[in-house]
Amino acid sequence: MRAEPCILNPVSELMTARLAVLISGNGSNLQALIDAIRYRALDAEIVVVASNRKDAFGLQRATKAGIPTRYHPLKPYRDAGKDRQTYDADLARLLNEYRPDWVVLAGWMHILSDVFLRHFPYRVVNLHPALPGQFPGANAVAEALAAFQAGAIKKTGAMVHLVPDEEVDAGPVIASEEVPIYPHDTVETLANRIHQTEHGLLVQALRRLIEGD
C-alpha cells in the first residue's frame, strides 16, 4: 500500500534540487540518494551532509562522493549549559549556508524543534521505519516485532513524510510501503528488510516532491 502524497512547495522540474542530508549513523539511505543522483534517477544535488556524531560512517560515504560534510555535536552545548533551541538555531544557520531546497532526515536521531523547522517550512523530509500512525520514536522496529508476536499486527513498513512541527514521526505522508513480518524474524532481520525498502522509497518520495508530481 502506498499513501497518497501531500505535495507542498515543489521545486521546479527545470531546477536541480539542492538537498541537505542529516545523518547520525551508517548512512545507507544517504548512499541510496548518492547512487540515485549518480545514475540520474533523481534530479538533485546533495550540497551538504551533516551529522551529530563524528564517527558516523555516512560522513565517509559523503566524503568519498565529494560532498561537503559538517559535524554538529550536541554535547558541547550541553556542557556549556546551552539549550536545544540554541543548538537547533545554529544547525539551521549552518545548513542555510548551503541554500538547500529540502532538508532530508536520513537516520537523524534528534527531534528538531520549531526553532529549526521555521527556517525550512514544509521543506524538512523525514524517513521513519513504520507505517503512518504506527510506532513513533526510535524503537519502531522492536515495537512492531513485539506487536506482531502479540498478534496485534501482521505487517509493518516504512514511510516518508514532511515535518511541519515538533510532533514525532507525524506529518503529511509523501509515500509509504508495507513490509511483511515473519515468525522467525528478529529485530535485526526485520530492520534489514525495512532498510532495503527505505532506500527505494526515499528516492521515490523525493522525486515526487522535486517534480511536484
Residue type for 9, please? N
Q: Has residue 57 got a pLDDT over 90? A: yes
Residue 128 annotated in active site: yes
Q: CB neighbours (10 Å) of residue 76?
A: 10
Domains parsed from the chain with CATH numbers: 17-211 (3.40.50.170)
* Mean pLDDT calculated for residue range 100-105: 98
pLDDT tens, residue by residue, 25-51: 999 999 999 999 999 999 999 999 999
DSSP per-residue string spanning 53-79: -TT-HHHHHHHHTT--EEE--SHHHHH
Q: Has residue 7 got a pLDDT over 90? A: no
Q: Has residue 2 got a pLDDT over 80? A: no
- pLDDT for position 187: 98
Reported as type and span, the H/E element at residue 36 is: helix 28-38
- pLDDT for position 9: 47
Of all residues in the chain, the percent with pLDDT exceeding 70 is: 93
- pLDDT for position 3: 40
CA distances from 85 to 33, 82, 89, 112, 167 (A): 29, 8, 6, 9, 16
Q: Which residues contact 190 (CB under 8 A, 6 or more apart)?
A: 141, 144, 145, 156, 179, 181
Q: How confident is the model at residue 14 (pLDDT cuts 50, 70, 90)?
A: low
- pLDDT for position 15: 75
Residue whose grid cell is 529540502: 102
Q: How confident is the model at residue 5 (pLDDT cuts 50, 70, 90)?
A: very low
CA trace torsion 83, 84, 90, 95 (10° rounding): 180
Q: What is the mean pLDDT of the chain?
A: 93
Task: Give the active site residue among 128, 161, 195, 199.
Answer: 128
Q: Has residue 129 got a pLDDT over 50? A: yes
Q: Which residues contact 64 (CB under 8 A, 6 or more apart)?
A: none
CA distances from 98 to 17, 18, 19, 113 (A): 12, 8, 9, 20
Q: Has residue 13 got a pLDDT over 70? A: no
Q: Has residue 134 got a pLDDT over 60? A: yes
pLDDT tens, residue by residue, 154-208: 999 999 999 999 999 999 999 999 999 999 999 999 999 999 999 999 999 999 9
Q: Has residue 8 got a pLDDT over 70? A: no
* Mean pLDDT calculated for residue range 42-69: 98
What is the C-alpha separation between 90 and 73, in angstroms, rounded?
11
